[in-house]
Amino acid sequence: MCLAVPMKIIEIKGEMAVVESAGLRREVGITLLAKARINDWVLIHAGFAISKLTRKQARETLALFEEGRLFG
């Protein structure tokens, strides 16, 4: 099973970005998103931002993670 996690871009360094969610920070590639900006919510998979999300979509998905409803 593959899993993509919603995270917020907090810093951009060229083709890389620092993203954060639930206090966890990671550096990820943003080359797949032409117009990634600071404060955008993005889906992270395998070290890359693969698509943008609205703030509402990100919060709904993170809430499902917290409830444990995504895995059974």
User: Following DSSP, what letter does each residue of the chain receive, concatenated?
Assistant: ----EEEEEEEEETTEEEEEETTEEEEEE-TT-TT--TT-EEEEETTEEEEEE-HHHHHHHHHHHHHTGGG-
* Nearest-angstrom CA–CA distance, 3 and 11: 23
Question: Using one digit for the tens of pLDDT, what is the confidence trace for 19-56?
Answer: 999 899 999 999 999 899 999 999 999 999 999 999 99
Residue 50 or 62, more confident: 50
- In this predicted structure, what is the pLDDT of residue 46? 94
Number of domains present in the structure of the chain: 1
CATH assignment at residue 37? 2.30.30.140
Expressed as residue numbers, the domain containing 50 is 5-71
- Residue 34 pLDDT: 85
Prediction pTM value: 0.86
